[in-house]
Amino acid sequence: MLTTAQALLKRKSVRAFLDKPVVRELVEQILEHAKYAPSGTNTQPWQVVVVSGATKQKLDNALIQAFRDGKAKSMDYKYYPEELTPDMKKRRLACGLQMFQTLDIKRVDTEKRLAQWELNYSAFGAPIAMYVFMPKIVEKGSFLDCGMFIQSIALMATSLGLSTCIQAALAEHAGIARDNLGMSDDMLLVCGIALGYEDISAVVNSYKTTREKLVNFVQFLD
């Protein structure tokens, strides 16, 4: 098993997975550890639905069809601000450019870009997708709690030799997800998490985004 430091450096968003099942015991081990993530006054606001097999395929198909039909997105919350800061915008553009350059997909090739984006809605073919919910009554602090829980899932998976992709795209049609997963309307869909074994031969997995140097975001005050 990797150390925490090793898992932090190794973790990345994986967008192509092997056709290899993940045994339930491993999924339970990941969640048994991730549940120790901190939360304000120990509220533990998260709820997780783990899908695979026919249930995942049915939901994948519904989300893909919504994408193909151009159905309006209906997330339960606003992920991005109306306007990003210049630094955030620069990093966001670089992220997308890096992926499309790796795949040799040109800006003008709309068909290939759409085909690549559509893969989001099948959790990139991962054998398992986790859907993370919270009660709709939550405030911003619970999003902080849930983020730490999600990161804990990703790090634990990495330490066990599995890979993840944390996906806001899987929450773009929250109503469809709730209907397929039997969740009530008072539950807010935060995101989905693709989980499986990385296909290291896939070109899309050959790049990793960069991170800023400490000097660009840290101040030490004595």
pLDDT computed for residue 135 by the predictor? 98
pLDDT computed for residue 153 by the predictor? 98
pLDDT tens for each residue of 70-129: 999 999 999 999 999 999 999 999 999 999 999 999 999 999 999 999 999 999 999 999
pLDDT tens for each residue of 33-67: 999 999 999 999 999 999 999 999 999 999 999 99
Determine the CATH number of domain 4-80+118-206.
Answer: 3.40.109.10
User: Quick check: 1 pLDDT over 90?
Assistant: no
Q: What is the mean pLDDT of the chain?
A: 97
Phi first, then psi: what are they for 208, rounded to 5°? -140, 135
Place of tokens 């997708």: 129
Distance of alpha carbon 207 from alpha carbon 25, whole angstroms: 30
Residue ranges of domains in the chain: 4-80+118-206
Distance of alpha carbon 221 from alpha carbon 218, whole angstroms: 10
The mean pLDDT value for 187-198 works out to: 98
On whether the CB atoms of residues 122 and 183 are closer than 8 A, the answer is no
The mean pLDDT value for 148-176 works out to: 98
Distance of alpha carbon 92 from alpha carbon 84, whole angstroms: 9
Beta-carbon contacts of residue 56 (< 8 Å; ≥ 6 apart): 123, 127, 128, 129
Distances (CA, A) of 25 to 22, 28, 31, 123, 160: 8, 5, 10, 21, 12
Place of tokens 């968003």: 13
